[in-house]
Structure formats: C-alpha cells, structure tokens
C-alpha cells in the first residue's frame, strides 16, 4: 500500500525523521525549472499531469511527464534530468530514489 512518508535511517534515541512525498516532488520540480529544454506538464485533474510520487515499503518512485524543446536531444536531456534529480534528492535528503521515470509527452515548438 502506498504511503505518504519516507522514514530515514538511522533511528536514534531522539526519534525518527520522516519526509512527506511532497518534499521529493518539490526537489524534482526545482530541477526541472532550472532546465530550459524541458517543461513540466501540468494537469487540471488528479493523475493527469504533474509529478507523480509513490512511496511503497520505504522506496521512492517518481514519474514525471514533460514537454521537451523540439531541438533538444531527447535521450541525452532525459538522462541528464534523471541524474540531476537523483543527485539533488540524494544530496538534500540523504535518500536514494528507487526509480525516476521521465515521460516525454510532447514537444515545445
């Protein structure tokens, strides 16, 4: 069953640290906004656009629909975006995502 929080290790006598899934979505959104080759697809209905963040058994999976500049090299840009999101999440939260799926759903002309 999907959860709303990730529990970070190690736990100590002071308690545990838990991060809401919106933290990971916000970090990914910041990375996307820094890249001028891609644009996040926003939807007006639930599950239609926007970053989908799933936490299951303390693993994190992100699905990110984007539109890409028609002049950009799709494979290289997606790989660069995945790496940057992975590095940012790992650096800011000390947690490594299980998967980051970039879905190219359109192009910017």
Which domains are seen in the chain, by residue range? 21-108 (3.30.70.1350)
What does the pLDDT look like over 78-90, one tens digit per residue? 999 999 999 999 9
Per-residue pLDDT of the chain (109 residues; tens, 9 = 90+): 567 888 887 767 788 888 999 999 999 999 999 999 999 998 665 545 689 999 988 899 999 999 999 999 999 999 999 999 999 999 999 899 999 999 999 999 9
Q: DSSP letters of the chain?
A: -EESEEEEEEEETTEEEEEEHHHHHHHHHHHHHH-TTEEEPP-SBTTBSS-EEEEETTEEEEEEEEEEETTS-HHHHHHHHHHHHHHHHHHHHS---SEEEEEEEEEE-
């Amino acid at each position: 069953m999907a959860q709303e929080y990730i529990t970070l290790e190690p736990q100590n006598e002071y308690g545990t640290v838990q991060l809401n899934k919106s933290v990971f979505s916000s970090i990914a959104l910041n990375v996307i906004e820094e890249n001028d080759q891609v644009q996040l697809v926003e939807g007006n209905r639930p599950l239609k656009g926007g970053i989908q963040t799933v936490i299951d058994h303390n693993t994190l999976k992100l699905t990110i629909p984007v539109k890409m500049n028609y002049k950009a090299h799709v494979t290289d840009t997606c790989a660069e975006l995945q790496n940057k999101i992975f590095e940012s999440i790992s650096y800011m939260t000390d947690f490594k995502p299980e998967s980051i799926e970039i879905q190219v759903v359109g192009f910017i002309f």
